[in-house]
Amino acid sequence: MISRRGLALLVAIMGGASVMPVFSYAKDTSVAPVSHKQVTLPRVLVLATGGTISGKADTRSAIGYDAGAVTGAQLIAGVPGVEKLAVLQVEQISNIASQNMNNQVWFKLAERIRRAFANNEADAVVITHGTDTMEETAFFLDAVIGDARPVILTGAMRPSTAISADGPANMYEAVKVAADPQARGRGVLVVLNDEVHSARGVSKMHTTALQTFHSPNLGPVGYVDPASVRFVAPARSQQHLDLPADHKLPRVQIVYAHADMDAQQIDDAVKDGARGIVIAGMGDGNVSTDALAGVERATKAGVVVVRSTRVGNGFVNRDVEVDDDHYGLVASMDLNPQKARILLQLLLANGKTSAADIQNAFSATL
Ligand code: SIN
C-alpha cells in the first residue's frame, strides 16, 4: 500500500507549460500503484498567490513578517491529512502580499480557472491568498467564472512560522469544502476559521483577529466541523460577466465621505477620467450638500455614480434618503465600496452604461 507520505508526494507544482514535480515517488521505496480509492478522490487545483498564509517571520513570536515567502507546494506539504481529501496539483500564480493584488493577477487566475474547468483538469480549485483583499478577488472571480464547480479562497491571519499558525487548518478546511459535492453551484466561496462565506457577503472586519471574516448582511453560508461541511444557505444562480479581451478594466474611483466634505475629490475623479465613482457614503450612503452637487456634475458628464456606505453593515437602498431617480444614481444594495467598484468596472467593460441597467445588475442576485 502507498504510505501516507507517499500520497503527499502526489502534490506537484507546475510552472508555465512545464511540469516540475517538487516531490516525486523516486525516494519512496514503499510506493505501489495508485489504488481505485485514490484515483476517485476529487482533483483539486491549488493556485497559490501569496499572503500571510505564505508568510515567514524571523522567530515564532515575531509580530512583523514577510507575506508571500513560502510557496504553495511548501504550504501543502505542511498540512497533514489533506492528501486523504483530494488529489492536489499546486501552481504558483504569484507570491505577493495581497495589498499588491492587481488586475493582472486577477485575469491570470480567472483564465487559469476557466482553462482548468474547460479541459476537465480539476473538479475544484482552491486559491491561497492574503486576507487584505481576499474579498475583492473572490468577488471578481465570482462574477467572471460562471461554473458550478467549487472555487474556494483561503488564507491566514498568522504567518506560517507563528505559534498557532492558522494557515494549515484553513488550508485543510478549504480543500475539504472544495472536495464536497454540496459546494457545487454556490459561486466562489471563502473558507477560514471553520466558516464558509459567499464572495458577495464576506468582508474582512478585524485588523488582526483570527475571526476576521464575517458576512454582515448575509451571514455565513456554511460551517466546517471535524465531521462534516454543513451548508445553511441554498445554492444560487451565478452571474457571469465576460472578461474584457484587452485585459483592461475602466477606471472607477472610490470617494470616502466624511464630515466637512466638499466636492473636490469627486470633481478630481471626473477630471482624472474616471468612468465611474463609488461613494463610500456616510450612514445610508449619504454625502454633504456640496458633495451632492459634485455628484450631479459627475452624472451630467456621463460618469456613473454608485452610492455605497462606509458603515460596513446594512443595505443602501434606492431613493430612501437620497433621490436616486432625480440624480441618476445607482444604489449599491449590500455591496461595500470595494466590491461595488469591481462590479461597476466589469459592467462598464461589458458595455453597460445606463444607471438603470447597472442598478439591475447590483440588485440582481439578492
Ligand atoms: C495580505 O493580505 O497579504 C497580508 C495580510 C494577510 O494575509 O493576512
Q: What is the pLDDT of residue 14?
A: 36
| Stretch 185-211: mean pLDDT | 97
Residues 191 and 83 in one domain: yes
The DSSP annotation for 84-151 comes to GT-EEEEEEEEEE-GGG--HHHHHHHHHHHHHHHHTT--SEEEEE--STTHHHHHHHHHHHH--SS-E
- Give a yes or no: residue 241 inside a domain: no
Residues 64 and 28 in one domain: no
Residues 52 and 21 in one domain: no
State which ligand 1 atom lies nearest to the alpha carbon of 97.
3
Contact between 72 and 48 under an 8 Å Cβ cutoff? The reply is yes
Range of the domain at 111: 43-231
Question: Is residue 9 over pLDDT 60?
Answer: no
Residues 7 and 106 in one domain: no
Question: Is residue 330 over pLDDT 50?
Answer: yes
- Cα of 12 vs centre of ligand 1, distance in Å, is 25
| CATH code for position 331 | 3.40.50.40
Nearest-CA residue for ligand 1 atom 7 is 130
Q: Which residues line ligand 1 (CB under 6 A)?
A: 51-52, 67, 97-99, 130-132, 155, 157
Q: What is the pLDDT of residue 69?
A: 82
Question: Is residue 27 over pLDDT 90?
Answer: no
Q: The pTM is what?
A: 0.89
Question: Is residue 326 over pLDDT 60?
Answer: yes
Structurally, the chain folds into a number of domains equal to 3
- Give a yes or no: residue 240 inside a domain: no
pLDDT category of residue 65 using cuts at 50, 70 and 90: confident
| Stretch 90-99: mean pLDDT | 96
Catalytic positions, written as ranges: 52
Distance CA 148, CA 98 (A): 26
Nearest-10 Cα torsion for 73, 78, 81, 86 = -10
Element (H, E) at 171: helix 167-178
Question: Is residue 39 over pLDDT 60?
Answer: no
- Cα of 215 vs centre of ligand 1, distance in Å, is 18
Residue-averaged pLDDT of the chain: 89
Residues 48 and 1 in one domain: no
- Give a yes or no: residue 246 inside a domain: no
User: Integer distance in angstroms from the first to the last C-alpha of the chain?
Assistant: 50
| Stretch 275-284: mean pLDDT | 98
Nearest-CA residue for ligand 1 atom 1 is 130
Q: What is the pLDDT of residue 5?
A: 40
Distance CA 138, CA 99 (A): 14
- Cα of 131 vs centre of ligand 1, distance in Å, is 4
pLDDT category of residue 240 using cuts at 50, 70 and 90: confident
Summarised one tens digit per residue, pLDDT across range 158-196 is 998 899 999 999 999 999 999 999 999 999 999 999 999
- For a substitution probing ligand 1, which of 98, 127, 129, 193 has the most ligand atoms within 8 Å of its CB? 98
Interior CA angle at 175 toward 171 and 180, to 5°? 150
Contact between 362 and 340 under an 8 Å Cβ cutoff? The reply is yes
Nearest in space to 82 (alpha carbons), one of 50, 51, 129, 44: 44
Question: Is residue 67 over pLDDT 80?
Answer: no
Residues 201 and 77 in one domain: yes
Nearest-CA residue for ligand 1 atom 2 is 130
- Cα of 53 vs centre of ligand 1, distance in Å, is 8
Phi, psi dihedrals of residue 23, rounded to the nearest 5°: -115, 140
Residues 33 and 85 in one domain: no
Distance CA 46, CA 69 (A): 17
